[in-house]
């Protein structure tokens, strides 16, 4: 006896694909990732080559950014295990920041309703890029460092998250259309047209 499914809406389709046809679901995820790739590419073009440079000689970072470049750590041992703790480098490196801007995909879920759709997402994975994109969003006057947030805002504005928001406005409508078409193709492949 053949099984029939009643699939109404994007959430039900995404949920059904993820449970019953992983191959088509993976194709859908790739199509969504590709659709938001244009937003990620636009965000990469919007990252600066330098952040807060120029007020010190020899290209050193300006006040506020340099403190994070220090490595603080210690070594110790416990029995036969040696450990070292250090802070991670938060140096600004444009190519590293650009490489860290990644498109992704996730199911959109609502508590009590389950899966209600699929989202394309773009993230800064580099800590320095994430800090730059949001600096001053909650504390424009700075708290721990009264120079850092105002300097970032003065140079790059207060449109948060920097690079991602303008890229979303520029390329988001097309990405949304591409995601809708990807859902329609997935529905057709699944035999629900």
**pLDDT tens profile 35-93:** 999 999 999 999 988 776 544 444 444 444 544 544 455 555 455 554 554 556 677 78
Is there a contact between 51 and 137 (Cβ–Cβ < 8 Å)?
Answer: no
pTM recorded for the entire structure = 0.74
Question: What SS3 state is found at 184?
Answer: helix
Q: Hey, how many other C-beta atoms are within 10 angstroms of the C-beta on 105?
A: 19
190 or 181, greater pLDDT: 181
- pLDDT (0 to 100) of residue 146: 72
Phi, psi of 136 (to 5 degrees): 90, 0
Whether the CB-CB separation of 46 and 163 falls below 8 Å is answered with: yes
Residue labelled with tokens 């329609």 = 184
The HSE-up count of residue 149 (CA atoms within 13 Å, CB side) is 16
Contact between 10 and 118 under an 8 Å Cβ cutoff? The reply is yes
Structure tokens at 135: 């600096």
Is residue 125 within 8 Å of residue 97, measured between CB atoms? no
Average pLDDT, stretch 9-27? 84
Rounded mean pLDDT, 141-168:
82
pLDDT per residue as tens digits for the range 81-123:
545 545 566 777 889 899 999 999 988 877 877 777 888 999 9
pLDDT, residue 81, reads 56
Question: Residue 95: how many CA atoms within 13 Å on its side-chain side?
Answer: 0
pLDDT at 89: 65
What pLDDT score was predicted for residue 88?
A: 62
């Amino acid at each position: 006896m053949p099984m029939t499914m009643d699939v109404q809406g994007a959430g039900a389709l995404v949920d059904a694909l993820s449970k019953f046809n992983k191959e088509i679901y993976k194709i859908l995820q790739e199509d969504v990732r590709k659709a938001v790739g244009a937003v990620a590419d636009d965000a990469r073009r919007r990252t600066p080559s330098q952040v807060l440079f120029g007020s010190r000689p020899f290209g050193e970072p300006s006040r506020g950014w340099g403190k994070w470049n220090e490595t603080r750590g210690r070594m110790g041992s416990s029995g036969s295990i040696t450990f070292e703790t250090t802070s991670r480098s938060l140096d600004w490196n444009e190519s590293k920041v650009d490489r860290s801007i990644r498109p992704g995909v996730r199911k959109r879920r609502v508590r009590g309703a389950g899966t209600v759709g699929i989202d394309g997402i773009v993230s800064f994975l580099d800590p320095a890029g994430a800090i730059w994109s949001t600096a001053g969003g909650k504390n424009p006057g700075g708290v721990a460092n009264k120079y850092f947030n105002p300097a970032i805002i003065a140079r790059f504005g207060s449109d948060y998250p920097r690079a991602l928001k303008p890229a979303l406005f520029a390329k988001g409508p097309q990405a949304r259309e591409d995601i809708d078409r990807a859902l329609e193709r997935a529905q057709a492949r699944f035999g629900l047209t």
